[in-house]
Structures are given as C-alpha cells and as structure tokens.
Amino acid sequence: MGNFPDADAQARVRLFASASSWIEGAARLQLQQLAGRPGMLAVAGMPDLHPGHHGPVGCAALARGVVFPEIIGTDIGCGMQFWPLDLPERRLKRDKAVERLAALEGVWEGDARALLAEHGVDAGAHADQIGTVGGGNHFCEVQAVETLVDAAAGMAAGLAPGGLALLVHSGSRGFGAEVRARHHVDGTAGLALEGAGADYLADHDAALRYARLNRRVIAWRALQAVRADGEERIDSPHNLAERQGDLVLHRKGAAPSDRGLVPVPGSRGTLTYLVEPLAPPDGALSSLAHGAGRKHDRASMSGRMRAAAGSLDRLIRTPLGGHVICTDRQLLMEEAPDAYKDIDKVVADLEAKGLARVVAVLRPVLTFKTARIRREQDRRGR
C-alpha cells in the first residue's frame, strides 16, 4: 500500500469528517489507496478514521465482483451489543459486581458446542472461547443513562432515567482469525466473488454468527454478575462484508446504518452515544462511525502515560466516576482514554454530516477489560 493513488481513485472517496477532526494523513492516504484497488467503486471514511495494518479503520468500501478478506481482518464480526437492564443505578452493588465481573476471564460453563451447532457454526477448538471478551479494545461495560435526548425513542429502546444498560464489544475471537488464515490473499487483488470469494463469505458468515453469540453469552454472564435481567436490543457488527448481488460492501470499523439504533462509544473514561441513523447522504455507503477511533497507537501509549504525572493512578478510576476491571497494567496504558479521539467531536460530525442524531447519552460505571496479565512474549507478539 505504498503507492500514491491516482485521480480516479481519489474521486471515489468521500470523507465524512469536518476540517477540525483529527484525521491523520496516513489514514487519508490509506483511504485513497483502498479506492484504487481492482473492482472498487466507492469508499467512505467516517469521522473516527485512523490508520490500520491492512488499510484504514473507520471506513466502508463497495466493490464489484471481488471481496477483500484483509480489509475485514481477523476479528470478523467484531461489534457492539446493547442490553438495557431492569436494575436502576442506585441499586447496583458496585463492589460485589466488580468481584463477580472478574469471572468473565474464565471459560463459560455452558455447552458452547451445542449453542454453536444450534446456529450452524462448527468452530472446532475455538468453541471454548465463546463468552470471553478477549484483549485489545474489547470490553464489557455497565453504563448508566446520563441523558435521554429523545425520551420517546430512548424509552422505546428500553432506557429510563437513572437506569442501567450493558454494552459488550467483542468479536469472533480465534475462530475469525482461523477463517482469515484459511482464505489468505497476498497483495491487494482480493478474491473473485464467483469462486474463492464465495467460499470465503460462507466461512465469514459463520464467524459473524459466532461473534454475535459470543457477545450474547458475555452479556448473559455479566447479567448474572450484576444480579440483573436485561434484553438484547441492538447488535451492531462493524467488521464485516455484505454481499449485494455482484457487489460486496466491506465495513472495517464502520457500523451499519440500516439496522436501527447504533451505540457509538468513546473510551472507558468518556460517554457513549446511542444514535439513530438518518437517511444516508450520497457516498456514505449505509455506514456510521463505530466509536471514537484511536488517536495514538498502542506502542506509543506506554511512554505517554508514564510521562503524565499521576497517570497510572487514574487508569482504573475514570473522570466520570467509573471503575475499570483490569489487572494488566500494560493494557491499561494502551487503552487509556487519552489514546482515543474526542467522542463528542466524532458524534458532532455524524450530526453535521446528516448521518445520525443522538437519542441518548450513557456514562461508564463498570468496565471489564481483563483479569489476566499478559506474558511478556504475548506483548512482543501483538
């Protein structure tokens, strides 16, 4: 991806971000290079756009007759799942919930293979990972309803003033990585849709189902931990390929805007916005931002956090009064709120560009990341 894009490729790009948004030059270049791939018809960048390993994160790309597995990446089906709870914030026993949420690190005690088989998924050895959050930016978060901007729409979604909700961010774990490895492609040519591309999409769709089930089981486990009942209202994947006849719509870190309400989280120290998609403007490819997007890469965050006075003390306590459940100091620094863009500006861009309107605002209360400390060799291999 080192070539500079030609004028035709640049004409296929739409960037839905204001001039004041933090969009790195490398991300803009990756977006334009993506538009230059064979069969590519249009590319849309969202206001959370940032550079990725095999192309930009925070984008959608429409191609004819070809699918690009490396655009989607290894975490096929990664996304957000949203569950309003029947428990008000005032009745949440935080200390007990913190202790019990740590159990999410362990293996789910249910029958994972039977659950997957019920949904037509054979994940092999990866079945045992169902119900686990994983690493990186994944999380399971108890959130409090801060504001109902549209009371009617918020209450229709199961929210109430003073209430709680659960937001789960995870994907297909090792199963998605296996699918990606099975359909590895060198270079940027992709897979022909009729043939190898169709084979990839069949396995990809199984990983999508796995990812949704994984989020659902995580939510079940979290409900037990906080002693609440809830209902799955939203499941919004943001790493996926969607076939539309001879076209394939790729989304990498971009939420679909044609499936109802979308949660757009910031970081563990900032607010989450629940938004209603609007009729998409030309070139938006029925997509929205999936979150704040990274501002600083993981490799640089350790130095940034160590250089900030008192920074480590605030890693597990957020400015909004939330508590982070994470025993991995390195991961705490890599995923610190400072690593992410300003979610308020990202959402303001969504509104200004006519992509979405805010329905509700939620505040992080308890954020589970991991109770496992990574080994040094794991860190070097990331």
pLDDT in tens, 205-247: 999 999 999 999 999 999 999 999 999 999 999 999 999 999 9
- Tell me the pTM: 0.92
Q: How many structural domains is the chain composed of?
A: 1
Which parts of the chain fold into alpha helices (H)? 7-11, 25-35, 69-72, 94-101, 112-118, 151-156, 173-182, 198-226, 298-307, 329-334, 343-352, 376-381
Print the domain residue range for 210. 7-381
Let me know if residue 188 belongs to a domain: yes
CA dihedral sign, ordered 237, 259, 48, 323: negative
| H or E stretch at 44 | strand 40-50
Let me know if residue 238 belongs to a domain: yes
Looking at residues 373-379, what average pLDDT do you find?
41
Give the active site residue among 204, 238, 250, 290: 290
Let me know if residue 1 belongs to a domain: no
For residue 173, what is the domain's CATH number?
Answer: 3.90.1860.10
Give the pLDDT of residue 379: 40
One DSSP character per residue, 220-260 reads: HHHHHHHT--B---EEEE-EEEEEETTEEEEEESEEESSSS
Active site residue 54: no
Rounded to whole angstroms, the Cα distance separating 168 from 197 reads 30
The rounded Cα 93 to chain-centroid distance in angstroms is 28
Let me know if residue 205 belongs to a domain: yes
Rounded to whole angstroms, the Cα distance separating 16 from 10 reads 14
Let me know if residue 2 belongs to a domain: no
pLDDT bucket at 375, cuts 50 / 70 / 90: very low
Let me know if residue 157 belongs to a domain: yes
Give the pLDDT of residue 186: 79
Give the pLDDT of residue 230: 98
Of residues 333 and 90, more confidently modeled: 90
Give the pLDDT of residue 286: 97
Give the pLDDT of residue 378: 42
Let me know if residue 81 belongs to a domain: yes
Let me know if residue 106 belongs to a domain: yes
Give the pLDDT of residue 310: 53
Q: Which tens digits make up the pLDDT trace of 284-315?
A: 999 999 999 988 787 778 777 765 545 555 68
227 phi-psi bin (left φ>0, alpha ψ -120 to 50, beta other)? left
